C-alpha cells in the first residue's frame, strides 16, 4: 500500500489554494515505478517536466489504469488495518480485511510495470463569512 502523503509526512496532508475563483480543484499526477526513471533525477527540489515527457509517460503508463472505489466510502476514516498497512511497508492488507477507499491498478500488466494515476482533489466549499452584528 502506498499513501500520498505518507502518515509520517509533516504535515500529513496537502494544502491547496485557489488561484482563481472559478477553480474547482487540482489534479495530482502520481507515478509509481519499481526502478529509477532515466529522464528524472530525484532531489528535494521541485522540477518541471517537459510536456513531451509527461505526455509520453501518460500514454505509456496511465492510459490503462483502472480505479475501484469503495461503495459509500466517501468521508469514512481509515480502518485500523488500512492504517497499519500504510505505516508498515512490510504489511499488506489481507483478503478478509476491509478494502481501502480507492484502489488503482493496471490490468494485464506485470507487477513491475510503472503506474501513473491522476488523482482529482476538489476544493472544499467555503462557508459564508458570518455577518457582523451591531
Query: Could you tell me if 115 and 34 are in contact, meaning their C-beta atoms sit under 8 angstroms apart?
Result: no
Tell me what pLDDT residue 134 has.
43
Cell numbers of 11, please?
Answer: 504535515
User: CA–CA separation, 123 vs 17, rounded Å?
Assistant: 8
DSSP 8-state code for residue 23? -
pLDDT tens sequence for the chain (134 residues): 777 788 888 887 877 888 888 888 888 888 888 888 887 888 888 888 889 988 998 888 887 777 888 888 777 777 888 888 888 888 888 889 888 878 877 777 777 778 888 888 888 766 555 444 44
Domain boundaries, the chain: 25-40+47-122
Task: Report CA 77 to chain centroid distance, whole Å.
Answer: 16
Amino acid at each position: 500500500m502506498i499513501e500520498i502523503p505518507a502518515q509520517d509526512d509533516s504535515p500529513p496532508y496537502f494544502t491547496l489554494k485557489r488561484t482563481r475563483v472559478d477553480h474547482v480543484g487540482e489534479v495530482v499526477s502520481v507515478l509509481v515505478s519499481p526502478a529509477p526513471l532515466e529522464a528524472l533525477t530525484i532531489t528535494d527540489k521541485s522540477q518541471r517536466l517537459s510536456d513531451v515527457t509527461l505526455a509520453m509517460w501518460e500514454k505509456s503508463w496511465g492510459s490503462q489504469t483502472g480505479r475501484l472505489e469503495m461503495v459509500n466510502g466517501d468521508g469514512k476514516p481509515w480502518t485500523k488495518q488500512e492504517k497499519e498497512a500504510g505505516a508498515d511497508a512490510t504489511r499488506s492488507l489481507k483478503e478478509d480485511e476491509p478494502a481501502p477507499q480507492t484502489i488503482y491498478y493496471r490490468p494485464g500488466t506485470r507487477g513491475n510495470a510503472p503506474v501513473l494515476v491522476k488523482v482529482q482533489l476538489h476544493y472544499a466549499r467555503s462557508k459564508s463569512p458570518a455577518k457582523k452584528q451591531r
